[in-house]
Amino acid sequence: MKKVILLGLIITFTLLLAACGSDDSETDSSGNGDSTIYTVGVDVTYPPFEFQEDGEMKGIDIDLINAIAEDQGFEIKIEAMDFSGIIPAMQAGELDIGMGGMSITEDRKDTVDFSDPYFESGLSLVVAKDNSDISSMEDLEGKTIAVKNGTTGANYANENKDAYGYEVIQVKDSTSMFQEVANENADALLEDYPVIMYAIATSDLELQVAGDKLNGDNYGISVLKGENDELLKKINDGLANLKESGKYDEIIEKYLGE
């Protein structure tokens, strides 16, 4: 008899536990936790910020947004796309968060809200390793310069085209842009300084930076303007917590060393 009572107790207890479990997830979906899965759009290839390795997305942006999501208790799904497609996909309601070494610019602030800045960047002029003719924008008269669609580099190139007298070739990603110079279809390209320094240090690209940085800017995490204040607050709170805990530095060091 005792055994039967004990068995009964165990079954009741197990059922109670199961009920508690399902209660928890219901609480989540009813709004106490955040059960939404936020879709994060990133550049298709932009090492060290995002890149594929062994079939997995890696990089500073990927680790940062995962750590922010973990800290703030929300789920994310990463989607890689051409950089120029990120903001339009947010406008079309297909993405909740935009990353991709995205510079905080006044123009973009018309359509997106940015998080607090998380990385200092800026543009560099880049030429072939054996090119000693071009060391500044002044040397680009009659030359061709490759840029990536929708980037600050493309804007800079188009704005200064008439002043310096060069042609602009627009391509869809950084790999194609590097290829244009390697194949001598273009004499120069514009790329973010940390990205080109990383590319030169980690691959056998025959490229070099010409002259000083052209400008300075900061990367931010973006959400669609005016509609995502709560999500933006979580992103900023998470970012602040990662900076305070040392996790932010750990992520940067993992990809860039000290």
Would you tell me which residues interact with ligand GLN (CB under 6 A)? 43, 46, 83, 100-103, 121, 148, 151-152, 192
**At residue 77, what are phi and psi to the nearest 5 degrees?**
-135, 130
Between 121 and 131, CB nearer to ligand GLN: 121
By three-state DSSP, how is residue 209 classified?
strand
Between 98 and 238, CB nearer to ligand GLN: 98
Quote the least distance from Cβ 107 to ligand GLN, whole Å. Answer: 10
Quote the least distance from Cβ 170 to ligand GLN, whole Å. Answer: 12
Between 199 and 247, CB nearer to ligand GLN: 199
> Can you tell me the distance from the alpha carbon of 109 to that of 2, in angstroms, rounded to the nearest whole number?
71
Between 44 and 139, CB nearer to ligand GLN: 44
What letter would DSSP give residue 41?
E
Quote the least distance from Cβ 122 to ligand GLN, whole Å. Answer: 9
Question: Could you tell me which residues come within 8 angstroms of residue 238 by beta carbon, excluding any fewer than 6 positions away?
Answer: 67, 68, 69, 71, 72
Question: Could you tell me which residues come within 8 angstroms of residue 251 by beta carbon, excluding any fewer than 6 positions away?
Answer: 60, 63, 64, 67, 242
CA geometry: angle at 57 spanning 242 and 227, to 5°? 60
Quote the least distance from Cβ 16 to ligand GLN, whole Å. Answer: 51
Quote the least distance from Cβ 176 to ligand GLN, whole Å. Answer: 12
> Can you tell me the distance from the alpha carbon of 243 to that of 68, in angstroms, rounded to the nearest whole number?
11
User: What is the token pair recorded at 101?
Assistant: 């070494």
CA nearest to 160, candidates 174, 175, 172, 143: 143
Between 148 and 247, CB nearer to ligand GLN: 148
